[in-house]
Structure 1
Amino acid sequence: MKKIPFSLLGLLLCGCASAAQANIYAYTDSHGVVHLTNVPAGNSQYHMVMRTPKMPVAVARADFNQVARQQYQSLVRSAASRYGVSPALVNAVISAESGYNAGAVSPKGAIGLMQLIPATAARFGVANAFSPAENINGGTAYLAYLLRKFSGDLRLAIAAYNAGSNAVIQAGYHIPPFAETQAYVPRVLAFYQHYLNGTAPEQITAVTAKASPLPAPAAISTSPQLIQVSNP
């Protein structure tokens, strides 16, 4: 594999890490183009070139980004209206999944505000899961789908958002017996009730769910999934 000059690689890695705060992977294709990404999505050609530490879930989710939450409300209301979902539910899922950190990346590859895995993102037309607008739109569409699938049962829809529809069905249309999901459902419902009541969600301190997001960036920005660099 051809090598990229250290200064160039360092510059690119720093830029990518500051936006998405995730491990960086690379490979060189047959044309000599170096591909860098923070989401290899199972592509065996990539190998890790930089590891970035993840902040403990409890710390990351306990510190809500107040500014981001307010800034995203127009997107939340628009998506909620489009798909017939309560804005309080969309906010509850975002609160539990990422704490309003648009750059959150889970160990399983779930991305962004509503922690969409690549397959779900593609299914609901999300090209860039780091984009707040696309992420909220796709995540809300997915919530609407789950609510229809489970006949409006909020608990089952939330459980399916965390564990998948098949897990809920295989559990006999009950919350699956997974510790993560068993804790996730009441956490989202608690956020949901707080948003309905107009009270501060920061009062909820129990931490659970699947993602391990990193601290929210000082400035809200979207992050590209793939960077390509030509060797000199």
Structure 2
Amino acid sequence: MIAGVGLCAAAAAATPDSANAVVNIYRAELADGSVRFASQRLDPGYVLYLPGERVAATSDRTRAGTSAAQAVLEPDVLRLAHRHGVDSVLVLAVIEVESRFRAQALSPKGAFGPMQLMPDTARRYGIAERAGPVQNIDAGIRYLKDLLARHEGNEALALASYNAGSGAVLRHGQRIPPYRETLLYVAAVLARAQVIRNLGQP
């Protein structure tokens, strides 16, 4: 999963009661390919990733920053999200934060593919560690669906479980664990989802 540093405003946005909050998130990509998020620009390597101000909707629903990789995978994301009854905007936001739609993304911790599944999670949902991106997305959506069901539709808690594990959420009394990475991750995904919704749901 994604490692994070910093806290400040992002932590406040990561609570279930503020699931639609939009916060400033800064992003830095390190030489080893790992990614860091922060709620402030910690050094010149951090660039504004998600601006806090709302973005006006566009008639053609084009989203700023749509990459070629996203254009390739988005039709499969929409199809699979519909098939499994999961909000496609939330799935798109998870993939954007997890991997920026890179089909072969591999984290230092061993998470892989667009949805950055850990090997044990991938096996639980019946896919091989080096499965193709569509299989990775399908398994990731099914996993996210199960987490949403476990947390009665609470997106913030489901995302915290996706990042830190359901055990961590349970140990902290069904609340978002106070881990920097998880607080920033939940804030980043929810903020990205809000930007997508502001621009028009795909």
Report the TM range for the smaller structure's normalisation.
Answer: 0.5 to 0.7
Residue by residue over 1:181-230, the C-alpha shift from the partner in whole angstroms, topping out at 9 and shown as x without a partner, is: 0111110000111112227xxxxxxxxxxxxxxxxxxxxxxxxxxxxxxx
Please name the residue that 1:54 is paired with.
Answer: 32
Matches within 5 A, 1:41-190: 54-55=32-33, 57=35, 66-190=67-191
- 1:38-62 per-residue CA deviation (whole Å, 9 max, x = no partner) reads xxxxxxxxxxxxxxx6135257996
Counterparts of 1:160 and 1:123 in 2: how far apart (Å)? Answer: 16
Give the Cα separation in 1 of the matches to 2:104 and 2:66: 12
Tell whether the 8 Å contact from 1:65 to 1:100 is kept in structure 2 after alignment: no
- Would you say the 8 A contact 1:98–1:112 is kept in 2? yes
Alpha-carbon distance, 1:127 to partner: 2.2
Question: How has the CA–CA distance of structure 1 residues 135 and 56 changed in structure 2, closer, same or farther, with 3 Å as cutoff?
Answer: closer
Deviations 1:60-111 (A, max 9, x none): 996x671111111111011101211011011000011011111111111000
For the aligned residues, what is the CA RMSD? 2.1
Q: Give the gaps of 5 or more residues in structure 1.
A: 1-52, 200-232
Shift of residue 167, structure 1, vs aligned partner: 0.4
Contact kept, 8 Å, 1:103 with 1:130, in 2: the verdict is no
CA pair 193-129 structure 1, distance change in 2 beyond 3 A: farther
Distance in 2 (CA, whole Å) between partners of 1:129 and 1:175 is 30
Q: 1:74 aligns to what SS in structure 2?
A: helix
CA distance in 2, matches of 1:109, 1:175: 23
Indicate the residue corresponding to 2:196 in structure 1: 195
Secondary structure of 1:172 counterpart: coil
Percent of aligned pairs sharing the same letter: 43
Relative to structure 1, the CA distance from residue 128 to residue 78 in structure 2 (aligned partners, 3 Å threshold; closer, same or farther) is: farther
**TM-score, normalised relative to structure 1:** 0.59
- Contact between 1:65 and 1:101, CA under 8 Å: does it hold in 2? no
What are the Cα deviations for residues 141-188 of structure 1, in whole angstroms up to 9, with x where unaligned?
Answer: 000000001110110001000000010011101000111001111100
Partner SS for 1:152:
coil
Runs (5+) with no aligned partner, structure 2: 1-30, 37-44, 50-64
Equivalent pairs, count: 146
The separation in 1 between residues aligned to 2:90 and 2:46, in whole angstroms, is 21
> How far, CA to CA, are the matches of 1:129 and 1:188 in structure 2?
25
Report the CA distance shift for 1:70/1:60 in structure 2 as closer, same or farther (over 3 A). Answer: farther
Take 2:163 and 2:129, find their aligned partners in 1: how far apart are those partners? 21
Structure ID, larger Rg: 1
Aligned equivalent of 1:40? none
In the alignment, is the contact (CA less than 8 A) between 2:119 and 2:129 conserved in 1?
no
Match of 2:21 in 1: none
Q: How far apart, CA to CA, are the structure 1 residues paired with 2:186 and 2:68? A: 26
**What residue identity is the alignment partner of 1:169?**
L
> Distance between the aligned counterparts of 1:113 and 1:192, measured in 2?
16
